[in-house]
Structure 1
Amino acid sequence: EFYELGVLIFAVVIMLLFLAWTTVALRMWVRLGITKSPGWDDATMLIALCLFTCYCAFILTITLRSRAHRQFTEMELLQSLVYVQLSKVFYILTTTFLKISLGLFFLRLLTKPWQTRLFHVILAISGVFGIFYFFVTLFVCGSPTKLADSFIGARAKHCAPVWFVLTTGYIYGIINVVADWIFTLIPIVILMDSTMDRRSKISVGIVMSFAAVGSISSIMRMVYLKGLLFENSVSTTSIKATIWATAEPGTGIIAASAAILRPLFRKIYTDVRDK
């Protein structure tokens, strides 16, 4: 089962990376070449994509090292544990910038002051707590040079308590889920009240609803969150948590970028029809 899950992680990471880079590239083509309306949401999405790529690089490295089928030296084991913590750091940064990008995108659609204020509050909470969680993870053992100590029994007593790390992770996950649904439901309500024709409303609404896809992965990551502590040894729970942690920002980046591509499809349809 460990081998099969390892193969699954590798496949998921490669697939999400490919789709993320493809959809973001198309997004930038739309914003720069078709609508000519680039914004800060595009810039933060590019940052999120780069951070996600770094995260995936660590996950792939860990996966490939674990399949070496040989006994690790103490130094190699320590290095792998550092990679695990660094992947978590980049996960936090990726999801934080992704939420900021989503919020900035949907701010373009809001029409009422209370909606704008609500989104600003959500953005502020996501950003501030994301930074807090980032520092908690980076300094979990007091110094970034001791990142792996939380996994080593004798040294873990000098690190932040497990309950604190878990609680912080759960709160961060809850904030992500709530933000995803608020970022999706309010714009859809606005869309339903717009003057667009019914067909356009349905198509845009479906695309917008994709923004909530990441919340499913976020919920599943919370289910397996304790596995990311790697207590005693790597378990199937640890691997499943990693899979969902990878899927969350990956699907979010893909879905958020796909939401921008309607002008591209419309242009393709028009060009084909006019030929």
Structure 2
Amino acid sequence: MAIESRATQIAAIGYTFVILSSIATCLRVYCRGWVVKAFGADDWLAVIAQFMFIVFCSYEITGVRYGTGRHFKDIEPENIPRAMQMWWTCEPTYVLTNMAIKASIAIFLLRICITRTHKIIIWTITGITEIYSLFFFLLFVLQCRPTSLFWLRYTSNPPGGSCLDASVVAKAFYAYSAISCLSDWTYSLLPIALVYNLQMSRRTKISVVGILAAGAIASSATIIRFPYLYSLTDIDDFLYSTSDVAIWSTVETGLGITASAVATLRPLLRSFLGHGSSADGQGNSARPWQRTGSNHPTGGYIRSHGQNGEEAFDLHDNAGKRIGVTTIIDHDDKSDGNGETGKNGSRSEASDSVAELHGWNSSQSDLADANGQPRAQKGWNVLVKKTVVQTRGSDLA
């Protein structure tokens, strides 16, 4: 009679997502560290999350070797405590990994937030998620006294002690999953609000929203896992009953890491395809977003104020490389006899020079000086419009 087992499925899912997420994380590190040259706190958290996910999958696959995914009756008695110990180790590692992922995504979104309301939403949902995750982590780790009783209770001579009722842990896991879904969908839907009023083409809006909202994919695994959480109460056949919990927890975490990495890879894709990028909005001021206390462009993002007061936004490929700046000076001088300018006409001064990205916060006069242009004369109604166009390093040679 064939042995009923889910071990192969658990192992296959573990191998698949540890490879997929590792590739995505490596690409993220390359993109942020070498292409954009703006490796930030969110990227460090993503690397930490990936490292912990590898540890999680290692324990999970080791547990499969000892009996995870099989019925107790089909496992050698001496291997049951070992498999249970691997399962116990996976759970807190899983929680810590997802805490790092959520924090990474939150920092990423805070970098591109426009309004104070959006920032408050992100801080609030992230705070709730992280605090409850820490509570759930401690609850799981301390559910048995001594801790080793969690796996040694399946031996012939278990130590003295006690464990919380399994239903308490299961209910806490239900709440954790609900909060996790709430944060995932908040992080996924918020980009729609972020780009709705931005000055960019519809195609670019769809592209940006699609990239930033990729995290919703991870929450689908959390939703699918909901019906299986009751299996945590089946302590008499725990390793087989919780197979679906193990599978979908791996999928959720692996997708979360991969999706958060994909959201940062647009500059790498554009660089690979050999296309420069430019801000879609024809703004009158543009600046790269900066991290607090840093002189470097933040994360390769540019936000600009459009002509109608709207915001323009672009994922900037090579922040830190050279940027061409064109300055246009308009004035209200009346037309002279030669008809060179009208009442609402304009005089244009254009700079063909390519300036280093150092003076984003300079005054309008300083910007004119930096490009060899004359300062505005007294009495002019001066309006300075800056159009920022990114050029690839090869274009500057």
The TM-score with structure 2 as length reference comes to: 0.63
Pick from 102, 105, 115: which aligns with 1:99? Answer: 102
In structure 2, C-alpha distance between the alignment counterparts of 1:156 and 1:214, rounded to whole Å: 40
Contact 1:140-1:150 at 8 Å conserved across structures: no
Unaligned runs of 5+ in 1: none
In structure 2, C-alpha distance between the alignment counterparts of 1:151 and 1:227, rounded to whole Å: 18
Counting only pairs closer than 5 Å after superposition, residues 238-257 of structure 1 correspond to structure 2 as 238-257=242-261
Contact 2:144-2:150 at 8 Å conserved across structures: yes
Structure 1 residue 139: Cα displacement: 0.8
Aligned AA for 1:189?
A
Hey, what does 2:34 align to over in structure 1? 33
Hey, what does 2:54 align to over in structure 1? 53
Counting only pairs closer than 5 Å after superposition, residues 121-132 of structure 1 correspond to structure 2 as 121-132=124-135
Contact 2:166-2:232 at 8 Å conserved across structures: no
Indicate whether 1:232 and 2:236 are aligned.
Answer: yes
Residue range with higher mean Cα deviation, 196-205 or 88-97 = 196-205
1:27-51 per-position Cα deviation (integer Å, ceiling 9, x unaligned): 0111111111111111111111111
Q: Structure 1 residues 152, 247: closer, same or farther in 2, change over 3 A?
A: farther
Structure 1 residue 79: Cα displacement: 1.8
Structure 1 residue 143: Cα displacement: 3.3
Indicate whether 1:172 and 2:176 are aligned.
Answer: yes
Contact 2:66-2:82 at 8 Å conserved across structures: no
Indicate whether 1:84 and 2:78 are aligned.
Answer: no
Larger Rg: 2
Count of aligned residue pairs for this structure pair:
272
Hey, what does 2:12 align to over in structure 1? 11
Contact 2:49-2:101 at 8 Å conserved across structures: yes
Aligned AA for 1:46?
V
In structure 1, C-alpha distance between the alignment counterparts of 2:89 and 2:209, rounded to whole Å: 37
Contact 1:141-1:149 at 8 Å conserved across structures: no
Structure 1 residue 235: Cα displacement: 6.6
Q: Find the residue that maps to 1:260 and give its secondary structure.
A: coil
Q: Structure 1 residues 209, 16: closer, same or farther in 2, change over 3 A?
A: same
Structure 1 residue 133: Cα displacement: 0.8
Indicate whether 1:215 and 2:254 are aligned.
Answer: no
In structure 2, C-alpha distance between the alignment counterparts of 1:157 and 1:163, rounded to whole Å: 18
In structure 2, C-alpha distance between the alignment counterparts of 1:24 and 1:64, rounded to whole Å: 27
Structure 1 residue 6: Cα displacement: 2.2
Q: Find the residue that maps to 1:232 and give its secondary structure.
A: coil
1:112-134 per-position Cα deviation (integer Å, ceiling 9, x unaligned): 11211111111111111111111
Residue range with higher mean Cα deviation, 7-16 or 172-181 = 7-16
Q: Structure 1 residues 152, 255: closer, same or farther in 2, change over 3 A?
A: farther
Aligned AA for 1:143?
P
Structure 1 residue 23: Cα displacement: 0.5
Contact 1:149-1:156 at 8 Å conserved across structures: no
Hey, what does 2:119 align to over in structure 1? 116
Hey, what does 1:147 align to over in structure 2? 150
Aligned AA for 2:58?
A
Aligned AA for 2:216?
A
Q: Structure 1 residues 160, 70: closer, same or farther in 2, change over 3 A?
A: closer
Contact 2:231-2:241 at 8 Å conserved across structures: yes
Hey, what does 1:133 align to over in structure 2? 136
Contact 2:188-2:215 at 8 Å conserved across structures: yes
Aligned AA for 1:14?
Y
Hey, what does 1:204 align to over in structure 2? 208
1:167-201 per-position Cα deviation (integer Å, ceiling 9, x unaligned): 21111101100000101111222122212222221
Contact 1:82-1:148 at 8 Å conserved across structures: yes
The TM-score with structure 1 as length reference comes to: 0.90
Structure 1 residue 149: Cα displacement: 5.5
1:78-105 per-position Cα deviation (integer Å, ceiling 9, x unaligned): 1211111111111111111111111111
Structure 1 residue 236: Cα displacement: 5.4
Aligned AA for 1:252?
G
In structure 1, C-alpha distance between the alignment counterparts of 2:62 and 2:7, rounded to whole Å: 12
Percent identity reads: 25
Q: Find the residue that maps to 2:145 and give its secondary structure.
A: coil
Structure 1 residue 270: Cα displacement: 1.2
Contact 2:67-2:239 at 8 Å conserved across structures: no
Counting only pairs closer than 5 Å after superposition, residues 188-203 of structure 1 correspond to structure 2 as 188-203=192-207
Structure 1 residue 73: Cα displacement: 3.7
Hey, what does 1:63 align to over in structure 2? 64
1:139-181 per-position Cα deviation (integer Å, ceiling 9, x unaligned): 1113333332577898898211223211211111011000001
Aligned AA for 1:60?
I
